[in-house]
Amino acid sequence: MSPMPIPDAVAALERDLRGIFGHRLQSVIVYGLRAQEAQRNAHGPHAAPAINHAAALTHTLAVVDTLSTDDLRACTGHVQHWQDSGLDTPLLVAAHEFGRSLDVFPFEFGAILGDHELVSGADPFDGLRVEPADERRACEVQVRGHLLHLREGYLETRGRSDALAVLIVESAPAFAALLTSVARLDAVEARDAAAAARHVERRLELISGPAAAIAALAGVSEIPSAEAERLFPPYLDTVERLVTYIDRWTHP
């Protein structure tokens, strides 16, 4: 894979971090550039700007020898400038924490590992890999937590369909992220939540597209009460099926 060009704003960020951390700055990487390019290509050159502004920001990670409150305080003075330059707030990780974080955040670090460019220093991901068992465990936490949230949320609607509509809309982004995690666990390249939903529906042998219908609501502000009443039963059934699927999942 040919390297992606490093945005000028990222090079400026590296200089700012170098000024704060000095020789303690081990590595700076930029990640998600290929995913952003794929998203732009999927929507075409004349597509409207992304609704989620945060998704359009450039993401970076810095690994440092040590990280103190004084360091964080020094960084705060640069955050507004970084964001104005199109950068998301950088992830700052102490070197002794880095390797131990892979099993705790396997999907997050796995996505970075697969789509990153080195800006300076040594590549912190060199020689590292995310274990499938850690991905399965993280996926199980996601899906079981989502199921509990839906059941509890349904009880708290007290049978009101307008409250049910709010529950569905507010839970849709987390469900879309869950679908993406399942696709990654199955080593399926899904460029967006819709593709991940189609993969899950094939795996679970679902008809009528219940996963895709909920994933499509991520970013939607509201839906009619009648639609909520129609969507919730297959939505809950899909999540219950996913719990069973992940519980029985084995590495291919």
Q: Are residues 243 and 138 in the same domain?
A: yes
Average confidence (pLDDT) over 218-230: 95
- Residue 1 counted as domain residue: no
Q: Which residues contact 57 (CB under 8 A, 6 or more apart)?
A: 83, 86, 87, 88
Average confidence (pLDDT) over 151-175: 96
Number of domains in the chain: 2
Q: Are residues 80 and 165 in the same domain?
A: no
Overall pTM surpassing 0.75 (yes/no): no
- Write the pLDDT tens digit of every residue in 51-103: 444 457 899 999 999 999 999 999 999 999 999 999 999 999 998 888 777 77
| Domain enclosing residue 228, as ranges | 133-247
Instruction: Locate all alpha helices (DSSP H) within 131-251, ordered by sequence.
Output: 132-156, 161-185, 193-204, 210-215, 225-247
Q: Are residues 86 and 112 in the same domain?
A: yes
Q: Are residues 157 and 225 in the same domain?
A: yes
d(CA 202, CA 40): 26
Q: Are residues 141 and 177 in the same domain?
A: yes
Q: At what angle do helices 106-114 and 132-156 cross, to 10 degrees?
A: 130
Contact yes or no for 242/142 (Cβ under 8 A): no
Q: What is the DSSP letter of 139?
A: H
Residue 109, pLDDT score: 81
- Examine the fold and report which residue of 76, 91, 121 is the final residue of a domain before the chain moves on: 121
Tokens of 65: 């020898």
